[in-house]
Amino acid sequence: GAGVSQTPSNKVTEKGKYVELRCDPISGHTALYWYRQSLGQGPEFLIYFQGTGAADDSGLPNDRFFAVRPEGSVSTLKIQRTERGDSAVYLCASSLGLAGELFFGEGSRLTVL
Amino acid sequence: QKEVEQDPGPLSVPEGAIVSLNCTYSNSAFQYFMWYRQYSRKGPELLMYTYSSGNKEDGRFTAQVDKSSKYISLFIRDSQPSDSATYLCAMNSGNTPLVFGKGTRLSVIA
């Protein structure tokens, strides 16, 4: 498809487990963003990639969260030792650059039991 | 105080009504202002984009930015049931990630 693709769409896990969420951006978009949206809240910035490098990871809540984009395209958000408070929709977006329009995927809904 | 404040609603209006949505912000460096629409269980999609102060119109939608008051608005004319969604304001200074409001949940009743 032509849009941003996120997998899985839903993930249920147990407290303490490790989770990976994948984002496949629009082809040609160099910028990739991860946001987290809790119920009734707006998206909160986590991390931004320009190419392969994390240009801004100031939104990552703690060191249990990590993201990579090794080839400048697909990105993976990794969450270690999940906690119930990590339950949220994790949104990925891509754009042509930091000032460009953000195109969002449908999100990965994470539930930590 | 959060950087961007937005009343979460919910807001319920009859079909055909004019809807007014708004946000306030505290960061005077913000120059780019956007409105995103988010349907249930979908990602946000860009609706309106405005640079600095002024008005922008696109069909039934009008976006207004008043930088002196740090206040932005979105007006929807002749609202339709298909406009029922959550509307998110978002803004940045151009070289920083977008900061979103909490979103206002709108229902347009036929």
Per residue of chain B (110 residues), give pLDDT as tens.
Answer: 789 999 888 999 999 999 999 999 999 999 999 999 999 999 999 999 998 888 999 999 999 999 999 999 999 999 999 999 999 999 999 778 899 999 999 999 99
- The beta-carbon neighbor of A45 closest among B32, B45, B97 is B97
> Which residues of B lie closer than 8 Å to A, measured between beta carbons?
4, 6, 8, 32, 41-46, 49, 88, 90, 94-103
Quick check: A98 pLDDT over 90?
A: no
pLDDT at A19 exceeding the cut of 60: yes
pLDDT > 90: percent of chain A: 87
In total, the C-beta contacts within 8 angstroms joining chain A to chain B are 53
Above 70 in pLDDT, residue A1?
A: no
Report chain A residues whose CB lies below 8 A from the CB of B49.
101
Residue B96, number of CB atoms within 10 A of its CB: 17
DSSP B88: E
What is the pLDDT, as a whole number, of residue B22? 97
Q: What are phi and psi of A84, to 5 degrees?
A: -60, -30
Q: How far is CA A14 from the centre of its chain?
A: 20
Q: Which residue has the tokens 């505290």?
A: B26
Has residue A26 got a pLDDT over 60?
yes
- B83: phi > 0 → left, psi -120 to 50 → alpha, else beta; which? alpha
What is the predicted pLDDT for the residue at A54? 87
- The pLDDT of A51-75, averaged and rounded, is 94
What is the rounded average pLDDT of the residues A69-74?
Answer: 93
B32 interaction partners in chain A (CB closer than 8 Å): 99
- Out of B42, B43, B95, the one facing A98 most closely (by C-beta) is B95
CA distance A108 to chain B (A): 10
**pLDDT score at A108:** 98
- Is A91's CB within 8 Å of B45's CB? no
Model confidence at A99: pLDDT above 90: no
- Which of A72 and A21 is assigned the larger pLDDT? A21
DSSP 8-state code for residue B53: S
Distances (CA, A) of B1 to A46, A88, B5, B104: 19, 23, 8, 18
Identity of the residue in A33, A42, A103 whose CB atom sits nearest the CB atom of B97 = A33
Q: What's the Cα-to-Cα distance from B94 to each of A26, A56, A70, B22, rounded to whole Å?
A: 21, 14, 26, 21
Across the range A97-104, mean pLDDT stands at 83
Residue at token pair 């994470």 = A110
- What is the reported pLDDT for A22? 98
pLDDT of residue A97: 76
Q: Which two tokens stand for residue B26?
A: 């505290």
